[in-house]
């Protein structure tokens, strides 16, 4: 038998030259875990799956979203240093240049006589630049980022923390009803909220991330790629995940020995009961994924 070479974990943000330069700039001022958290936040704010390879999208990502995320985590001075490191990358990126608008003869005569000031306007944005700006829910009216609000994780820091990566509030309610006061249950809307909740929780008590495959707020592959940001002894429990998805997640996470399964045929209540049983074991982390065709109720 020929030994198979383990799959290389994909780099956060993509493999383009621009993405590599951004990661290098972050890595020069922050620890790997912190740099990854900043990059995840910036991608979330920009509504981008990867760092733009160039053009106006790259300029906007670096000067707006990356700087905002870095300021939040590292402070304004360090954020400015990161953007300055990336200045050579942005020099080749065109920005809006003022152009002279078309004007009638009467206006030209008035300008020539010095009776009105010449008028300049910005060039029309390209089709790429007409994309909708993402909603930045983590910024206040002044444009300054602020920490996420304090959540139930502060109620009892030594209890298990159950993060529900789902858009389904009914699922979150079912888990809360089942676990009761035995755990802190928080629903997260995206990977940034997940990482922030893990950071706030600290290292006391076990960690459980429940991924709802029917209404996911975080994709399974995304969770697998950030496995290094979770506790080293975290356990991943898959619930009805397709064989190929589970195999890919195992390779991405690099922790195949830490994955368990919850029977697919269980409904939400049954899975919650099984989750409660697992949390009764001396585990420090649980990741639960449920496929969309699993029984809902």
Per-residue model confidence as pLDDT tens digits over 208-265: 787 777 777 777 777 777 776 777 766 676 766 666 676 776 666 666 666 777 777 7
Q: Is the pLDDT of residue 277 over 60?
A: yes
Average pLDDT value for the chain: 70
| Domain 152-290 grouped into CATH 3.40.50.2300 | yes
For the chain, the domains span: 7-95+103-141, 152-290
Cα separation, 279 vs 268, whole angstroms: 16
Q: Which residue has the higher pLDDT, 135 or 52?
A: 52
Cα separation, 224 vs 10, whole angstroms: 10
CB of 244 closer than 8 Å to CB of 220: no
Give the mean model confidence (pLDDT) for residues 59-67: 91
Q: Is the pLDDT of residue 196 over 90?
A: no
pTM score, whole prediction: 0.50
Q: Which residue has the higher pLDDT, 104 or 71?
A: 71
Q: Which residue has the higher pLDDT, 54 or 264?
A: 54
Q: Is the pLDDT of residue 129 over 60?
A: no
Instruction: Name the token pair of 185.
Output: 């249950």
Q: Is the pLDDT of residue 151 over 60?
A: no
Query: For the stretch 105-120, what's the b/e string if a residue is b when 16 or more beta carbons lie within 10 angstroms of its beta carbon?
Result: eeeeeeeeeeeeeeee
CA 287 to chain centroid: 17
């Amino acid at each position: 038998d020929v030994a198979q070479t383990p799959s290389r974990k994909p780099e956060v943000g993509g493999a383009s030259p621009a993405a590599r330069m951004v990661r290098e700039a972050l890595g020069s001022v922050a620890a790997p875990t912190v740099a990854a958290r900043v990059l995840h936040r910036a991608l979330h704010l920009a509504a981008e799956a990867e760092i733009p390879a160039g053009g106006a999208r790259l300029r906007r990502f670096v000067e707006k979203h990356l700087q905002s995320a870095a300021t939040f985590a590292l402070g304004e001075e360090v954020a400015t240093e990161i953007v300055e490191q990336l200045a050579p990358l942005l020099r080749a990126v065109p920005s809006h240049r003022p152009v002279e608008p078309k004007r009638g003869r009467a206006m030209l005569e008035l300008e020539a006589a010095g009776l009105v000031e010449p008028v300049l306007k910005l060039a029309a944005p390209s089709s790429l630049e007409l994309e909708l700006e993402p909603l930045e829910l983590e910024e206040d009216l002044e444009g300054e980022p602020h920490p996420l609000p304090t959540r139930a994780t502060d109620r009892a820091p030594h209890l298990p923390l159950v993060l529900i990566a789902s858009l389904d509030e009914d699922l979150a309610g079912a888990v809360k009803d089942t676990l009761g006061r035995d755990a802190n249950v928080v629903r997260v809307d995206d990977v940034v909220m997940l990482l922030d909740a893990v950071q706030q929780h600290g290292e006391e008590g076990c960690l459980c991330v429940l991924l709802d495959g029917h209404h996911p707020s975080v994709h399974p592959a995304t969770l697998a790629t950030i496995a290094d940001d979770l506790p080293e002894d975290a356990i991943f429990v898959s619930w009805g995940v397709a064989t190929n998805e589970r195999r890919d997640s195992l390779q991405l996470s690099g922790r195949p020995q830490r994955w368990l399964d919850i029977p697919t045929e269980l409904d939400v209540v049954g899975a919650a009961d099984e989750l409660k049983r697992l949390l009764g074991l001396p585990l420090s982390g649980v990741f639960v994924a449920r496929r969309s065709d699993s029984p809902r109720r």
